[in-house]
Structure 1
Amino acid sequence: MVKYRGGRINEEVRKVVSNIIQNEIKDPRLNTLISVTRVEVTKDLGYAKVFVSILGTKEEKEENLKILKKSAGFIRRGVGREVKLRITPEILIELDNSIEQGMHIDSILHKIKESGEKND
């Protein structure tokens, strides 16, 4: 039972943070699609790394990430209100580039497939 607790906490914090970003942060500068891809809470519940994927140009991503990092205290307060834990974890927001990396790998594989078909 203990080994599943971390996964449940991660998922619950992910849902709450996603809801807070989508519905409660009223900053008009957040104008792109932001999704929380995963959350990693440390075993002592001291820190929660929140990985976000931001759709937009490089400048928009940097600006929105900066805004989210400044909103970490507000997000932490919301997590403390919604998730019943002994300690409310400190929120650390990181940019998740796994979607772009996956698309890049897919395009490389597609190019390899096309060059293989031309050689046949």
Structure 2
Amino acid sequence: MESKRQQKFAGIIQEELAAIFQREGAAYLPNTLVTITKVRVSPDLGVAKVYLSFLNTNNTTLSVAEVNSHASEIRYKLGARIRHQARVIPTLTFFVDDTNEYVEHMDKLFDKISKERKENGTEEE
């Protein structure tokens, strides 16, 4: 369970990173829209796990690796934006947020189950 302090700091980081990716995201990943879906901060506020969602990319693993290769540059830009709000700028680690793929997978499974029930005539109403 995250404390209020962690949640507040994570919200600030999420907003500022979103602005950074909106303005300068094309430098890291051209023709790709990056969305910051979630930020988790450690209790000491020294490490931030940033979950990203990508639109218009074929390989999300490669995209995350590219963003992680620019993590120190992104951290510097984040530090310039939140320097008056934070004592320590957290180390950033980026991950793929695969929630959408999981939802799609579950929907396909439910559709398959529903289709099998209709074929077997065991549809419950």
TM-score range, shorter chain: 0.7 to 0.9
| Distance apart, 1:39 and its partner CA | 0.6
- Confirm whether residue 42 of structure 1 aligns to residue 54 of structure 2: no
2:90 aligns to what? 89
Amino acid at match of 1:21: F
Q: How many residues align?
A: 117
Change (3 A) 1:30 1:67: farther
Check conservation: 2:25, 2:34, Cα contact below 8 A: no
Deviations 1:24-61 (A, max 9, x none): 23427432222111011111111111111123323xx2
TM (norm. structure 2) is: 0.82
Which secondary structure does the structure 1 equivalent of 2:35 belong to?
A: strand
1:51 aligns to what? 51
2:5 aligns to what? 5
Tell me which stretches of 4 or more aligned residues in structure 1 moved more than 3 Å.
none
- Extract unaligned runs of 5+ from structure 1: none
Check conservation: 1:30, 1:64, Cα contact below 8 A: no
Aligned equivalents of 1:82 and 1:27: distance in 2? 18
Aligned equivalents of 2:19 and 2:73: distance in 1? 13
Across the aligned residues of Structure 1 and Structure 2, the Cα RMSD in angstroms comes to: 1.9
Aligned equivalents of 1:115 and 1:73: distance in 2? 51
| Distance apart, 1:75 and its partner CA | 1.5
Check conservation: 1:39, 1:51, Cα contact below 8 A: yes
Change (3 A) 1:107 1:47: same
TM (norm. structure 1) is: 0.85
1:118 aligns to what? 119
- Extract unaligned runs of 5+ from structure 2: none
1:99 aligns to what? 100
Aligned equivalents of 2:76 and 2:28: distance in 1? 20
